[in-house]
Amino acid sequence: MEQRNTLVAPSLLASNFLELGKEVDMLNRSEADWLHLDVMDGRFVPNISYGIPVIAQIKKAAKKTCDVHLMIEEPEKYAEAFKQAGADILTVHYEACVHLHRNIQQIKGLGMKAGVALNPHTPVHLLENVINDIDVVLVMSVNPGFGGQHFIPQTLKKLRELREMIRASNAYALIEVDGGITLDNAADIINAGANVLVAGSTVFSSADPAATIKALRES
């Protein structure tokens, strides 16, 4: 996970679900690095997306890393099932985990990379005691639950703080950013510390998604 070039993780939440196989094939052929898969339970966030059976089908077609983002309560109950479905990276929310260190160790013990997501109001210093155990920190740059929202500017400050904390701790976590990322703000987000850009609407609403992915990587 030490890769430091900009990675792009298109979010399939914004894809055409009627053509999901074709969308995954397009991502396989594109310069996308990861497939970002958002799981919502209608409890932790005010929306419901898709779950284990859909991810299992995506995994059959995917030739790239499956980056599963759990926006759910009690994620520890489902970690093993998501591993079996094909998750390569499993990210849980700080706000949903009473015993976060235990959650991280569970995920890694199952053979997945462990990610921790932070909502916009959650300060990065709360990860100080686990930062060396984490493979990915997912910084939410919108309030989780819905695609197509606008980037929260305060996120740039959080990214700079997180990058410094990772450096000072001699940690290896990648910084992933999710929400409102466009071709106009991608460079600022990368310069603030992001290693991985999650992009949903920007990719799948474009006339040429593969070209948009390439442009994001080169921002």
Catalytic residues: 38, 178
30 is in an annotated binding site: no
115 is in an annotated binding site: no
Planar angle of CA 23, 53, 98, nearest 5 degrees: 110
148 is in an annotated binding site: yes
36 is in an annotated binding site: yes
Alpha-carbon gap, residue 77 to 175, rounded angstroms: 26
Helices (H) and strands (E) in the chain, counts: 8, 8
Alpha-carbon gap, residue 50 to 36, rounded angstroms: 12
Tell me which DSSP letter residue 105 carries: H
201 is in an annotated binding site: yes
Sheet of 174-178, strand order: 7-10, 196-199, 174-178, 136-140, 113-118, 89-93, 65-71, 34-40
41 is in an annotated binding site: no
121 is in an annotated binding site: no
33 is in an annotated binding site: no
Residue 112 phi, psi (nearest 5)? -105, 160
82 is in an annotated binding site: no
Sign of the dihedral defined by the CA atoms of residues 198, 10, 91, 193, in that order: negative
204 is in an annotated binding site: no
Closest CA to 27 of 7, 1, 47: 7
Binding-site positions read: 11, 36, 38, 69, 145-148, 178-180, 200-201
Residues annotated within a binding site for substrate: 11, 69, 145-148, 178-180, 200-201
Binding-site annotation, residues for a divalent metal cation = 36, 38, 69, 178
